[in-house]
Structure 1
């Protein structure tokens, strides 16, 4: 499907439900691998299993947004306060325009929650996501050293771009 082929009737958004979590874990696992495997430390790649993504998704039920395209889950966004914590689009929906519409819906929902200044983190090396966030109007505020769980109780260093965007409150 092309950008011009994506019609409002084909696409819908709603809060994430508990029943969505297995499909979202599969989507997140695939999307993470597509965006990170080429540069992530091998220990992190091993730790990022579909089962671990499913466990991480448990608190998301009832929040965020899931995108449905042609009757199937095609992406999701989840925020925690002012941080857009997760934003992923499935392989079958990349290049369709869905990501831009999901981002606009997530930004509008965050603004409706009273968020005026949002931020997100994008791993250094995830060039596709970096380009998308810039195109969506997010400003790269620079690199930050952070750490992520290795899945075994330890932590691995990761460098991320911190993106910021002012949101118009609804």
Structure 2
């Protein structure tokens, strides 16, 4: 089932976000960035994105979510057990449809360079790399950054 998230979903989404972010991004980030991203960090981030959060459920358990601000699809996370099940494509379709309903006709997402599985999925559903940007992260030294592919898609 794919649906808009409600306030009652915040803790479950934050827990999934925390777990999957650490699985998919953690090894690419400095220790200080990983330490700063506890469940409360993710709870605050998800609460701030409401109502633009869509969840995917399997037998009553949230297994994935997508969230955005304006034209920036900033979060797209799927539990490892749900990968390859079709949930990712259905979540993306729901997000793109909702973005169009919000009069957004071109969207952008940032995919961590090195997360090749995610990039392959995004490209398979029509997103294209536009450029690479460096974003600051908490690190052992000032000015640490990580590269992200800026991907765009025309939603018309």
1:159 is matched with which residue? 147
Give the superposition deviation at 1:155.
Answer: 7.2
- Equivalent in 27, 30, 35 of residue 46 of structure 1: 35
- Equivalent-residue separation in structure 2 for 1:124 and 1:41 (angstroms): 15
RMSD: 1.8
Give the superposition deviation at 1:114.
Answer: 0.8
- Equivalent-residue separation in structure 2 for 1:45 and 1:95 (angstroms): 27
Instruction: Verify the 8 A CA contact 2:132 2:147 in the aligned structure 1.
Output: yes
Superposed, 1:78-157 pairs within 5 Å as 78-148=67-137, 150=138, 156-157=144-145
Aligned pair count reads 154
Structure 1 stretches (4+) deviating beyond 2 angstroms? 60-64
Partner SS for 1:32: helix
2:14 is matched with which residue? 25
Give the TM-score taking structure 2 as reference length. Answer: 0.90
Deviation track 1:93-140 (CA, whole Å, cap 9, x = no partner) reads 112111011111111111111111110001111122111111111001
Give the superposition deviation at 1:60.
Answer: 2.5
Give the superposition deviation at 1:156.
Answer: 4.5
- Equivalent-residue separation in structure 1 for 2:27 and 2:88 (angstroms): 22
